[in-house]
Amino acid sequence: MGTPVDPTPTFIQDELVRASNSPGYPLTIGSVQLRTSMRNWAEKILGVTGDFDVLPTIGSKELIAWLPTLLNSKSVNYPDIAYPTYLVGALINNAKAQTVGISPESWQKADLTWINSPSNPTGRVHSVGELQAVIDFSRRNDAVIASDECYLNFPATGQPAPVSILKVADGNNTNLLSVISLSKRSNLAGYRAGLIVGDPKLISHIREIRKHAGMLVPAPVQSAMAVALDDEAHVMEQAARYAARRDLLKPALEAAGFIVEHTHAGLYVWCTRNEEDWDSINWLADRGILATPGHFYGEAGNQHIRVALTSTDALIAEAAQRISA
């Protein structure tokens, strides 16, 4: 599982405790403090300009699962190797779901299209040109793009920082949503903290439904989110941890005959030995190492495995040694 194991930074835990006396209902739209932090962060880190809005979400899995319902999307495109919740969200709303490749040239028209850069499970990062092509598709078809950017903060050693679709949009955020999670960015998966940024019309629509449908982010979590978003130092520390783990595991896997593909950012090493994924999984299991078969993310991944960097430094070092040996 890609579940963080490094501690939640102490200053975030302290803020959660400080805000724990919370007798009243939290605001759907987020506290003033949180709204300010989200907007500042979106401008500074995502690079969004022009007219945009923000909205806190309970994690991002929950948003991903319910977005087709909230937007009443009847057709949903999602990547052919992908996080399974894009499909689940389409099924919840009885939408037609179809898998798509990277280039929008071959995409069918759909009310909602998911992209995920950096990708889970492949660690592939969209280039600016690829993001521009996605935006062009959205403009041509008047179609919503939801860009899942929960791994934006974790480039591999020597790789450029991945770019948000909202930066490429250059001030025209119509039909564009960036989906953000603090689970990995701030080791906050247990708090369930995320946000969306983008088209004010879309966000207003979602906000109005949420005011009555609930899915409120608890007030102490809102406070913790705000201080987390105001700080980038802890994110850079975490990025350095993942980069160091990637730098240990990647050569060990390569020496054992695996071909590492993509893996330019995010939380995973995506690799193949050109054999059935279960054979690679069994080979690792014989060494006491647990990884994920690629077909869990779509049939196209059935000769790949996903190795997560979400284990302690000591266990990653031990795993690299066992693989090398």
Ligand X SMILES: Cc1ncc(COP(=O)(O)O)c(C=O)c1O
Q: Which two tokens stand for residue 117?
A: 């850069």
Residue number with CB closer to ligand X (28 or 60): 60
* Distance in angstroms (rounded) separating the CA atoms of residues 124 and 110: 23
* Distance in angstroms (rounded) separating the CA atoms of residues 211 and 203: 12
Q: How many helices and strands in the chain, by DSSP H and E?
A: 12, 11
* Distance in angstroms (rounded) separating the CA atoms of residues 193 and 195: 7
CB of 81 to ligand X, least distance (A): 11
Do residues 294 and 121 make contact, with C-beta atoms less than 8 angstroms apart? yes
CB of 10 to ligand X, least distance (A): 21
CB of 162 to ligand X, least distance (A): 13
CB of 83 to ligand X, least distance (A): 4
* Distance in angstroms (rounded) separating the CA atoms of residues 87 and 78: 7
Q: Which two tokens stand for residue 110?
A: 């759909």
204 CB-contact burial (10 Å; exposed 0-12 / middle 13-18 / buried 19+): exposed
CB of 62 to ligand X, least distance (A): 7
Strand (E) or helix (H) holding 304: strand 304-308
CB of 5 to ligand X, least distance (A): 14
Residue number with CB closer to ligand X (114 or 137): 114
Residue number with CB closer to ligand X (265 or 323): 265
Residue number with CB closer to ligand X (181 or 252): 181
- Distances 153 to 25, 188, 208 between C-alpha atoms, Å: 32, 14, 30
Residue number with CB closer to ligand X (283 or 306): 306
Residue number with CB closer to ligand X (192 or 252): 192
Strands 144-148 and 176-181: parallel
Do residues 85 and 65 make contact, with C-beta atoms less than 8 angstroms apart? yes
In sequence order, what DSSP letters do the residues of 121-163 get, joined into one string? Answer: TT-----HHHHHHHHHHHHHHT-EEEEE-TTTT-BPTTPPPP-
Residue number with CB closer to ligand X (19 or 180): 180
Residues found near ligand X in the complex (CB under 6 A) = 2, 59-61, 64, 83, 116, 120, 148, 150, 181, 183, 189, 194
CB of 287 to ligand X, least distance (A): 25
Residue number with CB closer to ligand X (156 or 323): 156
CB of 298 to ligand X, least distance (A): 13
- Distances 300 to 40, 87, 99, 245, 252 between C-alpha atoms, Å: 39, 15, 11, 26, 25
Residue number with CB closer to ligand X (85 or 173): 85
CB of 24 to ligand X, least distance (A): 25
